[in-house]
Structure 1
């Protein structure tokens, strides 16, 4: 049976390598190796003589799943992405569908980490059963919690911050940034409908000739990012006229100024 399964996997890998690029084939190979590693480790853990090791490992591994779910930190991606533009998550116009996708991504990472941790626990369980190594069990548990937490922070928070900084760099270079879960600043030109003195600028300066980055309209407020100062401010959407500056497609050139 194992020989047949290996043969089928090898045939599938060769076929994918033939129809795809070498990089894609390498990625598929690594994914299959990781999947086999995880499945075998979990099988070993599930086959333990008692349920206690499995319950302990499950409790530790599921912490990064339950904590984000119970704390409702699905929008954490937009929080750290928007921090690069000094924009709060609630000021970003994000469709419900993309909020769901972002939340699913935040939870999918700890689920994958859970499976990996359970697999590793299955491999090290025979060593922990040795009487001389049993005192190391608390260290293994604490180490597992720290490793899961740091990996989750790196994969979720780190990726959001990196994407935000990359978006700022793209704008500085004169290009519309790539979207991050369908969120990116759109180059716009802003003109006033009400008198400029009546706008709640709170010390900010609105220049009709400057190209701003807009994140949509939320609760009747349009949030603008000033690429010159790096600050953001919100204005009533019915008090200003916001028009696209150039093309809004990612990678398009951003105009240097708004034409009068």
Structure 2
């Protein structure tokens, strides 16, 4: 791993006690964590002055703590990280003060330097002037210089060091931000407000499936939630364009309309169900939370979390490749996986299905990543605690996957047996397509070496296909599987489940 990424910089004043040996050890710990030491003075001197008690064995370090996460709470998060680092080194130290160093960038326009000698600007306001401006906008007079500043400064930068050529050098904007230099949002603030608008619109649209069909107090609850979402979306849009709040609200309304159209399926489309909306929310939560968790890991935490998780997922993938779902499905009918002839592509899709079932087990570490990003006290980085957490996560993963796999296979078996009992078309299951089939023996029925209940050629059976040289059937009346040599019978698709088959 390279250097750890960080989002915030916090200036911390740390009082370290114990004398020169402990001071040196504290400096080593600061360097090991990538926290530059800006200054160090005896206690009672420096920026904090006599606010810190003067002691001969005490020294105050001014360090810069770099940590990932949001700005809110970064000062407390930095203080906890420094305290934990000193405690791990068995050094007596106290974080006396922390200040978040906020450095947000402005967003001036980009300008391209232009040479006005090739085509002088026409006088007047006729067609020649319009043609000149069009050619200028298309870049026909562009030079090779790009500047990034506000209007007047951009012109000065473009002309700097050109001598006599400065008077014939101009600039043209590459975007429209130069029209409103005042009231423009800074880069990070603009990004945060864009995300706020997007999330408000998505959450509001996602509430619609939960409102549909509700009565009583649940309907009232979701109506209130929908109203709050609409208000939040319009407010987020207004905050996005503080100088044009009406335009911002219109932007929010258009984005909300697009999200609602997507969730509702559009004209002639099928609207999203509650399960689909909840599933998408869980997937987004897991992806974002794990991304925030992984970007904060140290080497020790990679060993504590990532290695066991990778091993677990690898085992799950291998098991899925062996079609665990198909094995449970076959077992529900008293068959073995070898009795089902499943194409490899469907085994791969079953493996993908199995891996998607692990998403619920990944919710706890995802929430842990979000808690770290927000500097919650219980999520302060520490290798020892994480060594206790990953076995719990693996147990949750295995338990959740096992239960979901069983539920998925059992549900498919129940739907198929229900179809067999009620003479309806059975549903497919990852490449297994049971269908009603008439079995026409090529030899007398009494001479067939069949496994299971006696074969009755006069009625159709549910056929799972041919595997291992046997036609694999399901006797709905007996509730048991039937296997007959495929070379001794002819399988003819039945038109319906209650038809009378031609027998030998």
Common fold: TM-score over 0.5: yes
Deviations 1:184-235 (A, max 9, x none): 3211121211233331125631111122111111232211111111221322
Over residues 10-56 of structure 1, what are the superposed CA-to-partner deviations in whole Å (9 max), with x where a residue is unaligned? 22423314544896175565455445533442343234372322442
Q: What TM-score do the two structures reach when normalised by structure 1?
A: 0.80
Answer whether contact 2:321 2:348 (CA < 8 A) is retained.
no
Q: Which piece of structure 1 moves more, 94-103 or 206-215?
A: 94-103
The corresponding residue for 2:501 is: 258
Q: What are the ranges of 5 or more consecutive residues in structure 2 without an aligned counterpart?
A: 1-190, 202-254
Q: How does 1:222-233 map to 2 (within 5 A)?
A: 222-233=471-482
Q: Check whether the contact 2:438–2:457 (CA below 8 A) recurs between aligned residues.
A: yes
Whole-angstrom CA distance in 2 between matches of 1:22 and 1:233: 41
Contact 1:188-1:245 at 8 Å conserved across structures:
yes
Q: In the alignment, is residue 119 of structure 1 matched against residue 366 of structure 2?
A: yes
Give yes or no for the alignment of 1:148 onto 2:397.
Answer: yes
The TM-score normalised by the length of structure 2 is 0.44
Deviations 1:115-136 (A, max 9, x none): 54542332455525488xx876
Q: 1:75–1:102: 8 Å Cα contact kept in structure 2? A: yes
Pair 1:186 & 2:376 matched: no
Aligned residues of 2:321 and 2:347 also touching (Cα < 8 A): no
For this pair of structures, how many residues does the alignment match? 251
Q: Which has the higher contact order (CA 8 A, sep 6+)?
A: 1
- Partners in 2 of 1:246 and 1:173 — Cα distance? 15
Q: Is it true that 1:58 corresponds to 2:306 in the alignment?
A: yes
CA deviation vs aligned residue, 1:143-192 (integer Å, no higher than 9, x gap): 21221111111222321121111211122122111111132321112121
The CA deviation at 1:240 is 1.0
For 1:72-83, what aligned pairs fall within 5 Å after superposition?
73-83=321-331
Q: Which residue pairs with 1:15 in the alignment?
A: 261
User: In terms of Rg, which structure is larger?
Assistant: 2
Runs of 4 or more off by more than 6 Å in structure 1? none
Question: Is the CA contact (8 Å cut-off) linking 2:291 and 2:369 kept in structure 1?
Answer: yes
**1:87-127 per-position Cα deviation (integer Å, ceiling 9, x unaligned):** 222111322322221123223433x4575454233245552
Structure 1 Cα separation of the partners of residues 194 and 463 of structure 2: 57
Q: Distance in 2 between matches of 1:32 and 1:105?
A: 15
Higher share of residues assigned helix: 1
Higher mean alpha-carbon deviation, 5-14 vs 192-201, is at 5-14
Aligned to 1:5: 195
Return closer, same or farther for 1:13/1:141 CA change in 2, 3 Å cut-off. same
Give the distance between the partners of 2:270 and 2:484, measured in 1 at CA. Answer: 50
In the alignment, the residues of structure 2 paired with residue 224 and residue 124 of structure 1 have an alpha-carbon distance, to the nearest angstrom, of 53
SS at match of 1:16: helix
Q: State the Cα RMSD in Å.
A: 3.1
Residue number in structure 1 paired with 2:426:
177
**Partner SS for 1:99:** helix
* Alpha carbons of structure 1 residues 159 and 97: separation in structure 2 relative to 1, 3 Å: same
Q: Secondary structure at the match of 1:82?
A: helix
Moved more, 184-193 or 198-207: 198-207
CA distance in 2 between counterparts of 1:82 and 1:90 reads 9
**Which structure has greater strand proportion?**
2
Indicate the SS of the match to 1:235.
strand
